[in-house]
Amino acid sequence: MTAMNQTRTTPNLHLRPPELLLQTDEHCDYGPAIDMWSAGCVFAKLHGKRVMEGKDKADQMYKIWDLCGSANEFNWPGVSKLPKYDEFKPLKPMKRCVREVLSDLDPYALELLDRMLTHDPSKRISAKEAPEEAYFSTDPPPSDPKSLPKYESSHGSWVLSGKDSSDGGPHPDHKVQGRGSCTSSPCTSQGHVLQTDASSTHDASPGAVGDSYGVNARPAPR
């Protein structure tokens, strides 16, 4: 997969890598390295570490600097040319402390996480390289997939406080808009306002809502 304009940004602020936060929404090239940063954030959570969870873009960028150190031309050539670098750069240099802050992690997990949370996307570990890390080949071995619990898929599920159509399912003309409302009258007439955290408009046909963006439609408080 090559870098391309796939999306303007990732909906979850806490999973955005620095190369997205330092660009403008109009100039965001979405490449595989972005997913590896996001995977690193999720990997940390799977180990009980909630890292870099900012309140807004500026706070998110500060938390990245605080854990991963400030970026400069030495550790990330070309970073100073990104549109929002001057806006978000720290007032003073900040030291990288991933290994110190997360030192209680399994050493192999920490090594993998450290490589996923690398500033420069060209130096970040790739999806092809990651399985070769010692974390995946040392004891304890992975569980047999057949031994894992099975759950009903929630992908594209609707969470509504009532019925929207005559058959009890979501209305086929519903559109879910980023933090907006359902546009069809059967929905709005019953006080249902569907919201997502996504920034784009998604067609929400039955069984397919904006969950492909990592979010589920949900009713707004009345």
Q: Which of 104-108, 123-127, 167-171 has the lowest mean pLDDT?
A: 167-171
| 8 A C-beta contact, residue 15 and residue 38 | yes
DSSP state, residue 25: G
Report field, pTM of the whole predicted structure over 0.85 = no
Report the chain's C-alpha Rg in angstroms. 20
Mean predicted confidence (pLDDT) in 68-89? 95
Residue 136 phi, psi (nearest 5): -90, -5
Whether the per-residue pLDDT at 30 is higher than 80: the answer is: no
Q: What whole-number distance in Å separates Cα of residue 53 and Cα of residue 64?
A: 9
